[in-house]
Structure 1
Amino acid sequence: MATLFSGARALVRWTLFQLHWVVGITAGSLLMLIGLSGATLSFEEEWLAALNPGVLSVPQRSTPALTPPQLLAALGPLPAGQTIGTAIFSATPGHSVELLLKTPPGAPKALPLYVDPYSGQLLGTARGQAFFDWVERLHRFLLLPREPGRVAAGILSICLLWLIASGIYLRWPRQPLNWRVWLSFNPRLKGRPFLWALHAVVATWALPAWLLLASTGIYWSFDAVRSTVDGWADVKRAPRMKPEGRNKPEAKAEPAAAPDLSAAWQRFQDTVPAWRELRLRLPERAGGALEILWLAPDAAHERQRNSIQIALDGELKKDQRFAEQSAGKRALAAIYPLHMGRYFGLPVRILMMLSALALPLLGISGWLLYLRRRRQQRDAAAQRKALTPSAGAGDTEEQTILVAWASQSGRAESLALRTAAALQAAGRRVVVKSLAGLAPLELAGYPQALFVVSTFGEGQAPDQARGFAHALEQAELSLADLRFAVLALGNRQYAQFCAFGQRLQASLLQFGASPLQPLTPVCDSEPQALEPWFQGLSRFGVAADTLDRLAPAEVAPIWQDWQLQQRDLLNPGSSGEPLFELSLLPASAAALPAWQPGALAQIQPQHPPLLVEAFLRAHGFDPQQRCQHAGTTRSLAEWFATSVLPASCVAGDVAALLQQIEPLPPRAYSIASIREDGVLQLIVRQRHHAGGMGLASGFLTAHCPLGGTLALRLQPNPAFSVSLESRPCVFIGNGSGIAGLRGLLRERVRHGLGDNWLVFGERQRASDSLCASEFDHWIARGLLELDRVFSRDAEGAYVQDFLRQQAPRLRALLERGAVIHVCGSLQGMAAGVDALLAELLGQDGVAALAAQGRYRRDVY
Structure 2
Amino acid sequence: MTLPIPAPRTVLFRLHWALGLTAGFVLALMGVTGALMSYEEAITAFANRDRARVEAGDRVPLAPTALAARIDAQADGRRVNVLTLSDDPQASVFVRFARDPETRARPPSVYADPYDGAVLGPVRLEAAFTTVRDLHRWLLLPGGSKGWGRTITGACTLALIVFLATGLYLRWPKVHRWRIWLKPSLSRPGRPRWWSLHAVAGTWLTPVYLVIALTGLTWSYPSFKDGVTWLLAGTPERTKLTRRAGNWEVSPAPEARSEPALDRAWAAFRAGEGQEAGLVILTLPGADTKAIRIRWLPRGVDALSARNEARYDAATGALLATEHAADTPLGRRIVENVLEVHRGRFFGSLIALLFCLAALSLPGFAATGLTLYILRRRAARRRRPAPPVRAANPHREPVGGTGR
Both structures adopt the same fold (TM-score exceeding 0.5)? yes
Q: Is the contact made by 2:305 and 2:333 (CA closer than 8 Å) also made in structure 1?
A: no
- For 2:358 and 2:63, the matched residues in 1 are separated by 40
Unaligned 5+ segments in structure 1 are 1-6, 239-252, 399-860
The amino acid that maps onto 2:122 is T
Q: What is the CA deviation profile of residues 128-183 of structure 1, one whole-angstrom value per residue up to 9, with x for unaligned ones?
A: 2211111111112222320343333222111100010000000012233x221122
Q: Give distance in 2, aligned partners of 1:46 and 1:291.
A: 25
- Tell me: CA distance 1:293–1:364, structure 2 relative to 1, closer, same or farther (3 Å): same
Q: Which residue of 2 aligns with 1:58?
A: 53
Q: What SS does the corresponding residue of 1:276 show, helix, strand or coil?
A: strand
Matches within 5 A, 1:575-594: none
**How far off is 1:391 after superposition?**
6.8
Query: Counterpart of 2:236?
Result: 236
Q: Which amino acid aligns with 1:306?
A: N
The answer on 1:130 being equivalent to 2:127 is: yes
Residue 193, structure 1, aligned to residue 206, structure 2: no
- Matched to 2:163, the amino acid is L
In 2, distance between residues paired with 1:156 and 1:68?
48
Measure, in 1, the Cα distance between the counterparts of 2:17 and 2:224.
Answer: 27
Aligned-partner SS, 2:360: helix
* Contact 1:141–1:152 (CA under 8 A) maintained in structure 2: yes
Q: Which amino acid aligns with 1:275?
A: A
Greater per-residue strand proportion: 1
In structure 1, the partner of 2:19 is 23
C-alpha distance in structure 2 between counterparts of 1:52 and 1:356, whole Å = 26
- Mapped to 1, the partners of 2:346 and 2:60 lie a distance apart of 29
Matches within 5 A, 1:6-17: 11-17=7-13
User: How many pairs does the alignment contain?
Assistant: 369
| 1:274 and 2:276 are equivalent in the alignment | yes
Q: CA deviation at 1:231?
A: 1.9
CA distance in 2, matches of 1:109, 1:315: 29
What secondary structure, in the 3-state scheme, does the structure 1 residue paired with 2:120 have? strand
Larger radius of gyration: 1
- Note the alpha carbon deviations across 1:461-512, whole angstroms, 9 max, x for none: xxxxxxxxxxxxxxxxxxxxxxxxxxxxxxxxxxxxxxxxxxxxxxxxxxxx
In 1, the alpha carbon distance for the partners of 2:137 and 2:237 equals 21
- Identify the residue that residue 283 of structure 1 maps to in structure 2: 285
Question: Partners of 1:213 and 1:185 in 2: how far apart?
Answer: 24
1:773 equivalent in structure 2: none
Question: By how many angstroms is 1:62 displaced?
Answer: 4.0
For 1:332, the equivalent position in structure 2 comes to 335
Return the offset for 1:99: 1.5
Query: Cα distance, 1:338 vs. partner?
Result: 1.7
Is structure 2 residue 151 aligned with structure 1 residue 155? Answer: no
Could you tell me whether the CA contact under 8 Å between 2:26 and 2:153 is conserved in 1? no
Cα gap change, 1:117/1:254 in structure 2, threshold over 3 Å: closer, same or farther?
A: closer
Q: Counterpart amino acid of 1:122?
A: V
- 2-structure distance, mates of 1:391, 1:92: 91
Q: Distance in 1 between matches of 2:173 and 2:59?
A: 63
Superimposed CA distance per residue, residues 220-273 of structure 1 (whole angstroms, 9 cap, x where no aligned partner) = 2211111122223224349xxxxxxxxxxxxxx864247343322111112212
Cα distance, 1:123–1:83 mapped onto 2, change above 3 Å: same
Query: 1:101 deviation in Å?
Result: 1.5
**1:99 to 1:19, Cα distance in 2 relative to 1, 3 A:** same
The 5-angstrom pairing of residues 512-591 of structure 1 reads none
The structural deviation recorded for 1:324 is 3.7
CA distance in 2, matches of 1:66, 1:379: 77
- Residue 79 of structure 1 deviates from its aligned partner by 2.5
Counterparts of 1:692-711 in structure 2, within 5 Å, are: none
- Matched residue SS, 2:21: helix
Aligned to 1:220: 219
Give the secondary-structure state (helix, strand or coil) at the position aligned to 2:76: helix
User: Percent identical across equivalent pairs?
Assistant: 32
Cα offset, 1:45, TM superposition: 1.7
Partner of 1:175: 175
Q: Which has the bigger relative contact order, CA under 8 A and spacing at least 6?
A: 2
1:33-85 deviations in Å (ceiling 9; x for gaps):
11111111111122222323312x21564446725525335435143311122
Unaligned residue ranges in structure 2 (runs of 5+): 239-252, 399-404
SS of equivalent to 1:292: strand
* Structure 2 length-normalised TM: 0.81
Tell me the C-alpha RMSD between the 2 structures: 3.1
2: CA distance between counterparts of 1:190 and 1:102?
A: 59
Report the CA distance shift for 1:86/1:391 in structure 2 as closer, same or farther (over 3 A).
farther
Q: Distance in 2 between matches of 1:47 and 1:300?
A: 15
Partner amino acid, structure 2, of 1:175:
V
Deviation per residue, 1:362-415 (Å, 9 max, x gap): 00110111122223334555x935xx545779xx9x9xxxxxxxxxxxxxxxxx
Q: TM-score under structure 1 normalisation?
A: 0.40
Which residue of structure 2 lines up, in the alignment, with residue 376 of structure 1? Answer: 379
Letter aligned with residue 322 of structure 2: D
